[in-house]
Amino acid sequence: MASQQPLPRQNNFGNPFDSGQDPDIWDPPTPPLQKPLGAGPQQTRASIPNQGAWGAPPRRPPPYQQQNPGQMAPVQPQPAAMRRPPKITGAVAGVKRETSQNPSGAKTQQQRGYDKPWLSGVDKGGNGGAQEQKKNTFLYSVYPDGVGPDSELINMLERDVVDRNPQVNFADIAELDDAKKTLQEAVLLPLYMPNYFKGIRRPWKGVLLFGPPGTGKTMLAKAVATQGKTTFFNITSSSISSKWKGESEKLVRILFEMARFYAPTTIFMDEIDAIAGARSSGEHESNRRVKAELLIQMDGVSVASSASANENQGEGERQKNVIVLAATNIPWDLDEAFRRRLEKRIYIPLPSEKGRQQLFDINLKGIKADEGVDWTELVRKTKGYSGADIANVCREAAMMPMRRKLLEGEVNFDEISKMNHDDLDVPITMADFNEALKNIQKSVSQNSLEDYQKWMAEFGCV
């Protein structure tokens, strides 16, 4: 009797009982084919390891590759004309990029129009420009390879460094002489007279600008960023806020560490009442931790806060001055501890008659005005107006000649495009200002002015 030959092993995934194998033992599933990326021979099942051992039947090739039934023709590599073109980074195809001596790609001092110390490494140019830029950043001083646990937080705060010129000078701000002198004394003079500002003459660590809205508090900060050769951080409540527990206070700590690294530094906090409000037992613990960290960094153990401590510091340490410049419209909501750390508290009032006259001159620079305009009458009528209100009045009056010329009848844009600029540049008349004053009202109430004056009399420090 002839010995019975065993049935050949088959892979029949449709019915395992017809394959001649133990029905309790299932073959492992065949991994899917990897789609080829780019040019080159297509990957077949035979070229994948451990595929031939399971006896997987080959797929039927497409008709254009089939030579004989059941036989797969090898796939030829794609010709060079059909291959995927290489990626073009940093340029557009067919356009030549101008090469410069600065390989880092950052703007130079002349291109920025802004002389800032933390970007001085980029201005050196040459082959070492990119390396110098890395050395001058806080991120690479902490993590030499640029990657670390807090690298993402550091990059978030790096974006708050003002690296462009706001183009605002102290001469562009009407009046506010006391505030200008205080800011120059706190920010500008210590840079030029470092040996004088030591001991009891150490620079102020905190300056608070408070007053009604639209009086020039933010403009003063822009002037400091323009004329002061200091690193300028523009910080808002969103800059030091995070949804993750513990990251907000870590952002505060990193902010002041970066400020000391890039010193001399000015940290501007607009609307500081949103960050440094009065603490209470009912507020969330995360807010209390952020405020506590901010208080410690502003005047903690590591900060020289006495005359003898400042006198004993080395020359390099005295150069690491960090000033906090804050602005608010509701100073009575500030916490007492923050009020103490903001050593100079300056009231920015509504403009006086002299200031309103200067505001008209500044806002109407380059605009033609009729000889019949009574400036004394305009100054009298704008009593109680803020600087922003007077700017709105000037803008409204400057639009009146154009409205009379174009918008009284049917507008024909084809004819408008053919008109010369001189046809529309009509001098502003007194009637235009009177009409603008009817449309623009003052934005500050008398009751709020009394609150500011009362707080200034109690807590002010010019």
What is the domain-level CATH number for residue 200? 3.40.50.300
| CA dist list (Å): 396 to 213, 232, 432, 440 | 20, 34, 8, 8
Res 18: pLDDT: 54
Res. 37: pLDDT tops 80:
no
Q: By mean pLDDT, which of 10-14, 336-340, 400-404 is the weakest?
A: 10-14
**What count of residues does the chain have?**
462
80 is a domain residue: no
Res. 100: pLDDT tops 50:
no
DSSP tag of 186: I
Pair 214, 334 in one domain: yes
Pair 200, 241 in one domain: yes
Q: Collect all residues with Cβ–Cβ distance below 8 Å to 170 and sequence separation of at least 6.
A: 180, 184, 223, 227
454 is a domain residue: no
Q: Report CA 358 to chain centroid distance, whole Å.
A: 32
Pair 334, 211 in one domain: yes
300 is a domain residue: yes
Res 322: pLDDT: 86
Other C-beta atoms lying within 10 Å of the C-beta of residue 229: 14
Res 460: pLDDT: 84
4 is a domain residue: no
Other C-beta atoms lying within 10 Å of the C-beta of residue 323: 25
358 is a domain residue: yes
Pair 333, 211 in one domain: yes
The predicted model gives 29-46 an average pLDDT of: 56
Res. 156: pLDDT tops 90:
no
Res. 20: pLDDT tops 80:
no
The predicted model gives 242-255 an average pLDDT of: 89
Q: By mean pLDDT, which of 94-103, 170-179, 388-397 is the weakest?
A: 94-103
Q: By mean pLDDT, which of 120-134, 278-292, 323-337, 435-449 is the weakest?
A: 120-134
Res. 27: pLDDT tops 90:
no
Pair 342, 201 in one domain: yes
394 near 382, Cβ under 8 Å?
Answer: no
Average pLDDT taken over every residue of the chain: 75
Pair 132, 262 in one domain: no
Res 397: pLDDT: 93
Structural domain count of the chain: 3
Res 380: pLDDT: 95
Range of the domain at 337: 170-347
53 near 46, Cβ under 8 Å?
Answer: no
357 versus 134: the higher-pLDDT residue is 357
Pair 194, 225 in one domain: yes
Binding site, by residue number, is 211-218
389 versus 10: the higher-pLDDT residue is 389
Q: Residue 52's pLDDT band (boundaries 50, 70, 90)?
A: very low
Binding site for ATP, by residue number, is 211-218
Res 403: pLDDT: 82
Long-range contacts of 40-49 (CB under 8 A, 24+ apart): 40/77, 40/78, 41/74, 41/75, 41/76, 41/77, 42/75, 44/72
Pair 288, 422 in one domain: no
Pair 206, 307 in one domain: yes
Res 217: pLDDT: 92
Q: By mean pLDDT, which of 90-99, 167-176, 213-222, 444-453 is the weakest?
A: 90-99
Pair 330, 405 in one domain: no
Pair 194, 251 in one domain: yes
Res 363: pLDDT: 92
